[in-house]
Amino acid sequence: MEGKIAAMTQLDLVDDTPQVPPRLGRKRDHTRDPEILDAALEVLAETGYDGMTIDMVAARAKAGKGTLYRRWASKGELVIDAIACMKKNDIDYSRLPDTGTLRGDLIAMIKPHSIEEAEKKLQIMAGLMSMLSRAPELAEAANAAIVEPRASVNRILMRRAVARGEISADCDIETLSLISPSMAAYRVLILRKPVDRKFLISLIDGVLLPAVGLHGQAAHSAE
């Protein structure tokens, strides 16, 4: 302690020790972060925020409770961090489908993997739902990681369709881009029914495309 102060007073003469002395022993690597954050997301999806305990997360990650609290100050901060880190596994906006038609693009977005991931995200959202109004930071993180990306893709695909002249520029893209996120969320969270490829296609052909002035491939064969 005194040594450090003395070294600072005689300014850097022969003093080759850095201002912040080099750590000895093991680095503060926090190498368990990814496993812990993943475990937190799993438990969150299964039991919700209130049902989730720190012990569950620690056990799931085969980590000690101390390790969690050394890294995050509280349960709340761990959860916010876990949510925020989901964004990293997000959509690659530079590789969106480009089939030439809105319908083709929308259907190309339906992949088993994306359905599965969307469902897990919705389960997590369900577990946070009752907290959102009381924890604005959490609501912010959840919006950025779960809600916004889904709508964003739809907006991009629809704007492209407008640019191609495929659909009218009068379309309320803000609203229409939320049709399938809304109805899929309602179906999973409230109706508790599965969202599968067939359902998503029926949404595209039966709701979204008619709303933009196009027609799906099924039904409404008139005109």
Partner DNA sequence: TATATACGATACTATGTAGTTCCGGATCTT
Partner DNA sequence: AAGATCCGGAACTACATAGTATCGTATATA
Least distance (Å) between residue 200 CB and a copy of itself: 11
112 is a site residue for DNA (CB under 7 A):
no
178: partner contacted, choices a copy of itself, DNA, none (Cβ within 5-8 A by kind): a copy of itself
Least distance (Å) between residue 192 CB and DNA: 24
Q: Annotate 128-176 with DSSP letters as a single string.
A: HGGGTTT-HHHHHHHIIIIIHHHHHHHHHHHHHHHHHTSS-TTS-HHHH
Asked whether 185 and 126 are in contact (CB, 8 A), the reply is: no
Compute the distance between CA of residue 50 and CA of residue 48 in angstroms, rounded to an integer. 6
Compute the distance between CA of residue 39 and CA of residue 197 in angstroms, rounded to an integer. 28
Q: Is 193 helix (H, G, I), strand (E, B) or coil?
A: coil
Which stretch in 19-27, 110-118, 138-146, 207-215 sits in contact with DNA by CB under 7 A? 19-27
Nearer to DNA, 78 or 176 (CB): 78
Compute the distance between CA of residue 99 and CA of residue 166 in angstroms, rounded to an integer. 13
Residue with tokens 């850097």: 12
Least distance (Å) between residue 44 CB and a copy of itself: 9
31: partner contacted, choices DNA, a copy of itself, none (Cβ within 5-8 A by kind): DNA
Least distance (Å) between residue 125 CB and a copy of itself: 7
Least distance (Å) between residue 140 CB and a copy of itself: 10
Q: Is 48 helix (H, G, I), strand (E, B) or coil?
A: helix
Asked whether 179 and 207 are in contact (CB, 8 A), the reply is: yes
Compute the distance between CA of residue 220 and CA of residue 106 in angstroms, rounded to an integer. 19
Binding mask 28-67 for DNA (x = CB under 7 A): xxxxx-------------------xxxx--xx-xxxxxxx
Task: List residues binding a copy of itself (CB under 8 A).
Answer: 47-51, 125-127, 129-133, 139, 143, 147, 168, 170, 172, 175-176, 178-179, 181-183, 185-187, 189-192, 202-203, 206-207, 210-211, 213, 219-220, 222
Compute the distance between CA of residue 60 and CA of residue 40 in angstroms, rounded to an integer. 8
70 is a site residue for DNA (CB under 7 A):
yes
Contacts with DNA, residue ranges (CB under 7 A): 22-32, 52-55, 58-59, 61-67, 69-71, 74-76
